[in-house]
Chains A and B, each alone.
Chain A
């Protein structure tokens, strides 16, 4: 039975210095959030890697749990080897509860153009951790991190 789902919060940043207030519902059938990943998805392309284009702060379960603070980077135009895997979380989701918070853009005004951000919530439809969905505690350096995303995705 499928138990892992990737719930996606996506928003568009239209102006330099913009603050976006976020109110997002994770579907009620998802019981736990076991990881998150914040990605620049489109727009704002640069020749060089931008280590910060904005930062994010999110609270789960109707403002009860302030769990996420993260900076968002933007890969260079020709960068293909950026790695991604989910940052560990372990939040028991209240049914239909809000994820609330802010994203604020910090891109220098001279290099700004509109862009999209996606926040992936790695969630489980199971109440308890009968199957380990957490990131591995130790990772073989030769392992491709991206693989773990797709391997688990195949379970869905």
Chain B
């Protein structure tokens, strides 16, 4: 099974990116708000719980855009985001998720 921290460290070493800090970041979503926006300039965010997000959730950043689909339930891959990050939760959801990232300050 993939260990996210090991994977991230190895990949950033390959990319010659030195890590100033890595930590967890959570975005708690709630009823009445479907759009969440936050900044990740000079940062990398790795999504760690894609399999638990509602299908149709969109994460839009300057470097990557992902729409959660059924395939994410079976994937261990870590999606990476940077810049301005916008999360849009589908309107029909009843369980609002906590969206978890590993945040890398570079």
Whether the complex brings A and B within 8 Å at their CB atoms is answered yes
> A residues bordering B, Cβ < 8 Å?
19, 57, 59, 62-64, 66, 69, 101-102, 104
Complex Cα distance, B14 from A144, in Å, reads 43
Q: Which residues of B contact A (CB under 8 A)?
A: 14-17, 60, 62-65, 67, 82
- A69 and B14 contact, CB distance less than 8 A: no
A19–B65 touching, CB < 8 Å: yes
In the complex, what residues of B have CB within 8 A of residue A104's CB? Answer: 60, 65
Q: Is the interface of B mostly helix, strand, loop or mixed?
A: loop
Task: Sample 20 A-B pairs with CB under 8 A, ordered by A number.
Answer: A19-B65, A19-B67, A57-B62, A57-B63, A59-B63, A62-B14, A62-B15, A63-B15, A64-B15, A64-B16, A64-B17, A66-B63, A66-B82, A69-B62, A101-B63, A102-B63, A102-B64, A102-B65, A104-B60, A104-B65
**Looking across the interface, which residue of chain B has its beta carbon closest to that of A20?**
B65
Tally of contacts, chain A with chain B, CB under 8 A: 20
B63 contact set on A, CB distance < 8 A: 57, 59, 66, 101-102
Question: How many angstroms from the CA of A102 to the CA of B17 in the assembled complex?
Answer: 21
User: Using Cβ atoms and an 8 Å threshold, which residues of chain A touch B64?
Assistant: 102
Hey, which chain A residues are within 8 Å of B62, CB to CB? 57, 69
**A64 vs B16: C-alpha distance in the bound complex, in angstroms?**
7
B11 nearest CB neighbor, chain A only = A63
- Given A64-B17, A69-B62, 14 new contacts (CB under 8 A): A19-B65, A19-B67, A57-B62, A59-B63, A62-B14, A62-B15, A63-B15, A64-B15, A66-B63, A101-B63, A102-B63, A102-B64, A104-B60, A104-B65
Within the complex, the shortest CB–CB distance from A56 to chain B, in Å, comes to 11
Residues of B within 8 A of A101 (CB): 63
Cα distance A66–B44 in the bound complex, in angstroms: 12
Bound-state CA distance A79–B82 (Å) is 36
Inside 8 A of A63's CB, which chain B residues have their CB? 15
